[in-house]
Chains A and B, each alone.
Chain A
Amino acid sequence: MNRHNAHVRVAVDIGGTFTDLHLHDGRSNKTFVWKTPSTPADPSVGLLEGLHSISELAGIALSDIGMILHGSTIATNAVLERKLPTGALITTKGFHDVLEIGRHMRRDVYTLNAESRPLLIPRHLRFGVTERVKSDGSILQPLDEAEISRIASQLREHKVQTVAVVFLHGYRNPTHEQRVQALLNDLLPDITVATSFDSSPEIREFERTSTTVLNALLQPVISSYLQRVDKRLQQAGIHARLYLVQSNGGLATPADAARLPARLLLSGPAGGATAMSILAQRHNEANLVGLDVGGTSSDISVLTDGSIGETQESSIDGLPVRLPMVEIRTIGAGGGSIARVETGSLRVGPQSSGAVPGPVCYDRGGDQITVTDANALLGLINPDTFRTGGITLNVHASGNVLEETLGTPLSLTNSAAANGVLEVANSHMADAIRLSLFEKGADPADFALAPFGGAAGLHACAIATELGMRRIIFPAHASTLSALGILQANIRHDLSVAALVPAHTDSLPALQRAIKQLLTECKDKLTDNELYHEDCAIEFSGDMRYRGQAFELTTPWPEVSAEGEINEQSILALIEHFHTIHEQRFAFTARHDPIEVVTVRAQAIGKIGGTVTTETFHNTAGKPGGSAENRQVLAASGENTTIPCISRSDFLHRAQPVRGPLIIEEEYTVLLIANGWTVTPLPGSDILCTCNNDA
């Protein structure tokens, strides 16, 4: 055991509405769950409240907490709400508009005025300096250092707090970027500086600039938040080690997070995706689709052959982020998605009623029918579920609005219209899942569905049916699943070296150099984290493409030895892996075409996540919700049918398979088991749901 392996670990997932916590006590091998309202003005307040409550529940002292693993949407919200400091961009002279021009294609094809394009640094704060690096990394024009002092005085004048430095081909030769950083550190010690080489050392200037700018703007935000957390923890007598969850699902130290905060941008869904792999391991599922249905949107993640899909690029609010992260497809379909009639069709989303005014049935001024209204109208939502959040459901109001806006125009009864809303919403989610799997060349029939988040349980059977999926796993603690994932996360560093060499045995020396360099950097990072050899794993991969392609496939390279040695055989193996992956994804290979290795990557993993055994899972917050009596549900035909209803804890307690239709209720969510499906309790309080005609 190393010093990271504290007895008491707490995972925290701070979302917009709730702060979820899971505490694992290694001494008793018990896990406790807690949920408390978030405090958006200063999320560290809610964090401390949660720590107090869960410690009390677990019967431990605050000072017993050895490790806090922190996931949050703080970076994401700062960007979405533009709560960012004043930043500037320093770039190669002649190219200060690259950030604003972007890739200049539009998403709205037929329109008279252009969609708005987000821009985080205004033109008068973007500065070009004389310098130039060529594509091979050689210096064409030296940096004019005198210009930097002139720019520094303007930065001071405009009260700039943070600066992004991005030079053309800076991913290949960072000398000029690093020199500017050093000069600014001397001239303006109070401002933070992010270079593109540090932030995202990858080719394509716009995407790299966008990522670096986000990194620069978030540095002060995350630093000050971490200082507040640190202070509050100290005041409370907590001396735990703190780690932050990154978009790749791995953990980072506060120092690394403050330096590279763009890596936290999509950490919200990453915890859920990590939980997917735990779920898969627990039940021996090789292939899982995670479906997290929230109020305004749904997140889809895919686990294939036991590993979570990752991508090297994503975006936030239309701004590209070029960093390794868990691959999530987000679509505008959730509980709050609005249904309307357009040219005789029933359309649902992507517009959402949001939390305010919300669905009609919330009685908060919402006057458009949402997916939640449809569920409520059909009798699928227990009003008690909402009472905890202080909402009394007004289903009558939903009925009136539905009749007026959907039923009458489409000549449908209310029950048919409400069922129709669900069917269309489900088809959106199914199409999105199919698209996610399509990109991997995978067939939905080979996957099980894992629904979580507040609203997924009602839609899972219908979506699985539409996709031809035959197994659904309803995880325990569906509403706090991200925190469970975080509890078992590991420290992770993603490092890369630009290579751009032919995938050929002739490239052995170049590839060997790249690997050795990465290995040294990985070991340094892990040593900084005070991790010892036996707790570490370093995995290599190569981003490869047929010569001429724009997109590389990240190809795992297990043939690299632990000492970072490769030979001609390992290069041939890498090439073979690439052909296989290309065939899987795109249904063809070009075996006679030259292949390139564009980037060599290394993942350094510091294993600190102990396994939380499921049998000892101690559920305390999940009080059985629901009155567990039969429920009247409206069918599309308009007839009332009676569906048996049971609380999750009762169902698990009985430990017997039950055939649908059935409603299973728990505190924050409801599961609808459709006709034709059977549910069986699984170890770890999870529930397996299978298609009957499978048997």
Chain B
Amino acid sequence: MNNIVDPVRLEVIRNALLAGAEEMNISIWRTARSTVVRETLDYSTAIFDGRGRAIAQSTRIPVHLNSMSTCLEDIVEHHIPLDQWNDGDVIMTNDPYCGGQHLPDFVIFKPVFHHEERIAISAAIVHHIDVSGGAAGSYFAGAKEVFHEGLRIPPIKLTEAGKDNQPVLDIVRQNSREPVKIAGDLQAQLAALTVGARAVERLVKRYDNATLSQAMEQILAQSEQAMRDTISAIPDGTYTFKDFVDDDGQQAQDLEVVATVTISGDRCTADLSESADQAPGPVNCTLNMARSGVYCALLSIAEGRAMANSGAYRPIDVISREGSIVNCSHPAPVANRMATGHRVVTTVLGALSQAIPEQVPAAYYGVSYVTALAAPDRHVKDERRVYFEIEVGGWGAYPQGDGADGFSAGFHNLANSPIEMCESIFPVVFTEYGFIADSGGDGQYRGGLGLAREWQLDEEWGLLSGNFDRFRHPPYGLHGGEDGSLGRFLLIRDNQTTALPSKVSGVELQRGDKVRLETSGGGGWGDPTDRDKAARENDQRGGYVST
């Protein structure tokens, strides 16, 4: 057993690891090519210990960050054992059935060696703009199996002993509607791994292998303790809550997500096995995704006290049923897995709201609003441009105040794409971007407002896809607060408005067509009659609520 690292050195090492993950974050942000990475910031970075346990994350996206460790476990157990991870290797996959999430998300890992011992692994997950499949952005609403969704890469060595596996890079380029962008983004992603590795090397040169790995053990133990303390503060008991995914885009059928959360002392068990069977359409979650949703909910309850890493996951058990929507089996399609993933978060939080009503907010919008458009390139004949963006809605009101209007919440954390940047690159002209009055659930505290985003096609043709949810089941209010609004996706042609389904692809657009997305507001909290008069007046003066 190694000597215990004193609390001062421990804090110094912890800070340095967090700073390392942050350096990786900056590196991708500054060098990426596609708007989904460089503007929307759909990527995450982390540093793992030599045994593959997550230690330090950058301040990015919960769904990514809390699934990377289970992804790594999957790879090591079933595909490439850790003893085959050598100096100079980079291991990569995008396969949801080998630990990945959905095909556009490439997860890559780089082991870091010192004195011939593997002391850490730097890791980055990036959402790539397009990996082929039935629709632009590889979000094909009509997919019936994962084979319809694009290029699938099992765990492989993308780099071996410092040498790039060029044929794989060529295959990736060849299988994308945006070959230059995917290659550029992958280059940025690979460079970030080197940045993370350097950060670890600096630390280990200053201390030594034993001190660093002991410090990592203690960082994990600290997070575990903080999570145990968080759970202990929740009254023991079993709490059940259910929420719905509208449908899978192929059958008009509610998909139930059920969480039965049991708090027993300092442990928490989330049983999701009553959730619906896996769906024919691409709203299915792998078990990794569902676990990540449970972890995210509990980490939110801890509100930053538990550093997010593998230690924090230890007191949490997730039970699920294979073949269900939260633990789907091969070859179920998964592209729009976030429809269900967000619902795992809101269901677990809903259950906990019964135990700690004075802490848990009403539901946030709970959708990653993905719009994708394929259109011809303005300059180069026969080339495609893929316009891809992710929008957000309103936060649920919380027991002490109103929910935030139009702000990233919960399971994801994304920036919008600047309109001026979009219009400079893609053939679109925006006509509106703003809050939707009355979209937040009323209550003692009001839910945050949803957003309207509307644009017009400025090109001969386009192929549109949308992957949404909460068009039929609104974000729930709590304790007498009203539900938030429903979302809508509208096509406006010659002044005729057509409501599109929440999951759709292959919609043929003509020049001048307008496309309008309306996202959900959050649920309200508490009885609306208890709302402060000044708050109501303020809502009306600003037009957040119509008069």
Could you tell me which A residues sit within 8 Å of B by CB distance?
94-98, 100-101, 103-114, 117, 122-124, 132, 134-135, 140, 168-169, 171, 203-207, 341-348, 410, 412, 419-420, 423-424, 427-428, 431, 434-435, 438-439, 500, 546-551, 585-588, 590, 593
Contact = CB atoms under 8 A, between A and B. Distances in A.
Contacts of B138: none
13 contacts: A95-B432, A106-B408, A109-B413, A341-B7, A345-B10, A424-B11, A427-B12, A547-B180, A548-B34, A548-B181, A550-B38, A550-B39, A588-B191
Contacts of B429: 132, 134, 140
Contacts of A110: 62, 296, 299-300, 302-304, 308
A588 B435 CA distance: 41
B407 interface: yes
Contact of B11 (A140, A427, A546): A427
A104 B403 CA distance: 14
Contacts of A98: 419, 433-434
A109 to B, nearest CB: 5
A203 B303 contact: no
Nearest to A426: B12
Given A101-B451, A111-B304, A123 B544 contact: yes
B14 A101 contact: no
Contacts of B308: 109-110
B184 A586 contact: no
B329 interface: no
A199 to B, nearest CB: 15
Given A424-B12, A550-B39, A134 B423 contact: yes
Contacts of B22: 435
A548 B33 contact: yes
A135 B423 contact: yes
A207 B34 CA distance: 20
B16 A427 contact: yes
Contacts of A347: 11
B269 to A, nearest CB: 20
A205 B420 contact: yes
B82 interface: no
Nearest to A553: B30
Contact of A203 (B296, B299, B421): B421
A586 B30 contact: yes
B398 A113 contact: yes
B191 A586 contact: yes
Contact of A112 (B398, B408, B433): B398
Given A94-B431, A343-B222, A424-B11, 5 more contacts: A98-B419, A110-B302, A114-B403, A342-B305, A423-B12
Nearest to A202: B420
Contacts of B431: 94
A549 B400 CA distance: 42
A97 B435 contact: yes
A435 B431 CA distance: 40
Given A112-B359, A549-B33, A346 B405 contact: no
A203 B301 CA distance: 39
- Chain A binding surface SS class: loop
A427 B15 contact: yes
Interface in B396-421: 398, 400-401, 403-409, 413-416, 418-421
B10 A550 contact: no
A546 B33 contact: yes
A551 B39 CA distance: 10
Contacts of B395: 113-114
Interface of B: 6-12, 14-16, 19, 22-23, 26-27, 29-35, 38-39, 41, 59-60, 62, 180-181, 184, 187, 191, 194-195, 218, 222-223, 225-226, 229, 296, 299-305, 308, 359-361, 392, 395, 398, 400-401, 403-409, 413-416, 418-421, 423-424, 429-435, 448, 451, 454, 541-544
Nearest to A105: B415
A593 B187 CA distance: 12
Contacts of A439: 26
Contacts of A343: 222-223, 225-226, 229, 305
Contacts, number: 215
Contacts of B12: 423-424, 427
Given A113-B361, A343-B222, A101 B408 contact: no
Contacts of A438: 23, 26, 195
Contact of A104 (B218, B226, B360, B407): B407
A110 B187 CA distance: 30
A485 B60 CA distance: 39
Given A204-B421, A205-B420, A586-B30, A95 B361 contact: no
B359 A549 contact: no
Contact of B7 (A206, A412, A586): A412
Contact of A95 (B30, B303, B433): B433
B124 to A, nearest CB: 14
Given A203-B418, A423-B12, A104 B432 contact: no
Contacts of A410: 7
A205 B301 contact: no
Nearest to A421: B8
Nearest to A170: B420
B38 to A, nearest CB: 4
B543 A124 contact: yes
A344 B191 CA distance: 35
A103 B194 contact: no
A105 B413 contact: yes
Contacts of B433: 94-95, 97-98, 101
- In the A-B complex, list the 6 residue pairs whose CB atoms are closest, starting with the nearest: A548-B33, A550-B38, A114-B404, A123-B542, A97-B434, A420-B8
Contact of A435 (B19, B29, B407): B19
B450 to A, nearest CB: 11
Contacts of A134: 423, 429
B418 A345 contact: no
A112 B361 contact: yes
Most B-side CB within 10 Å, residue of A103, A123, A419, A548: A548
Contact of B301 (A109, A112, A587): A112
Contact of B542 (A107, A122, A585): A122
A601 to B, nearest CB: 19
Contacts of A111: 300, 303-304
Contact of B419 (A168, A346, A590): A168
A204 B406 CA distance: 18
Nearest to A552: B30
Nearest to A101: B406
Most B-side CB within 10 Å, residue of A107, A344, A419, A550: A550
B31 A549 contact: yes
B211 to A, nearest CB: 15
A105 B191 contact: no
Contacts of A132: 429
Contacts of A109: 59-60, 62, 308, 413
Nearest to A125: B542
Contacts of B27: 586
A387 B45 CA distance: 49
Most A-side CB within 10 Å, residue of B19, B41, B222: B19
A434 B543 contact: no
A6 to B, nearest CB: 44
A140 B403 CA distance: 37
B516 to A, nearest CB: 11
B104 to A, nearest CB: 17
Contact of A168 (B409, B420, B543): B420
Contact of B404 (A97, A117, A547): A117
Contacts of A346: 7-8, 11
A547 B379 CA distance: 14
A114 B39 CA distance: 21
A204 B423 CA distance: 11
Contact of A548 (B16, B180, B361, B409): B180
A570 B359 CA distance: 63
B35 A345 contact: no
B184 A593 contact: yes
Contacts of A428: 15
